[in-house]
Homo-oligomer: A and B are copies of this chain.
């Protein structure tokens, strides 16, 4: 297959280069990924300034792929990469493998997921993929998981209006209990904002905080911690159809 790969950790992340290394014997790979890490980039497109594309010859040779960086965010990489950099159209777009899970409501902030959604909106089959850890110990496990998925899943069957969001648990490949197709859950944080004073005495706020352990359940946020890889079809069509009638009825009452 012709595979296009981007991410939001930057083109030098092991999550992307390790995956390229694993796939490039069997597939023709083009990478356009951010020059710098873009964590929590969300679905931003850079429209207020021009962007630069850079080709890396030595790196490309080493990994048997075409490897470029882009001065923008993941959605920019996809837009320019698919429209301008690639001369053929990819059979599959992969965004990742991200260092850190993209699960539950956190996907709203995810550059990784947005890269895949952008590709899907442009009409391509796309997956977003992440390792549920900020450590790299089990990145090879995630790479094997994605390799197995790409090798065996009928990519053509991926629909036009969704992507597959694949998360690998933070355990060795042999210990993964299976792959579950599950719904997106909800993620909550504690101590979300730190408040302090800088060396000049000015007040600042800093957004961060630690994850509240999710309760038992059958969604992505739950099953990943139980040793399963999770797959969630995610759509860029966000209408909450279940509530359209309620809203309509409420409006009618006003008239």
Q: Measuring CB to CB, which residues of chain A are less than 8 angstroms from any residue of chain B? A: 39-53, 72, 75-76, 79-80, 83-84, 105, 107-109, 114, 117, 121, 152-154, 157, 159, 161-162, 164, 179, 181, 183-184, 186, 192-193, 195-196, 198, 202-208, 231-241, 243-244, 246-248, 250-251, 253-254
A238 touches B121 (CB 8 A): no
Each complex incorporates copies of this chain amounting to 2
Verify A206–B239 contact, CB threshold 8 A. Answer: no
How far does the alpha carbon of A121 sit from the alpha carbon of B48 in the complex, in Å? 29
Q: Which of B42, B48, B241, B251 contacts A43 (CB 8 A)?
A: B42
Beyond A44-B41, A121-B108, A239-B234, whether A246 also contacts B157 by CB under 8 A is: yes
Least CB separation from A254: chain B residue: B152
21 contacts between A and B (CB under 8 A): A39-B48, A40-B47, A41-B44, A42-B42, A42-B114, A47-B206, A50-B198, A50-B204, A52-B202, A52-B204, A79-B207, A83-B193, A105-B121, A108-B117, A108-B238, A153-B254, A154-B250, A181-B251, A184-B239, A233-B239, A236-B238
Q: Which residues of B contact A79 (CB under 8 A)?
A: 192-193, 207
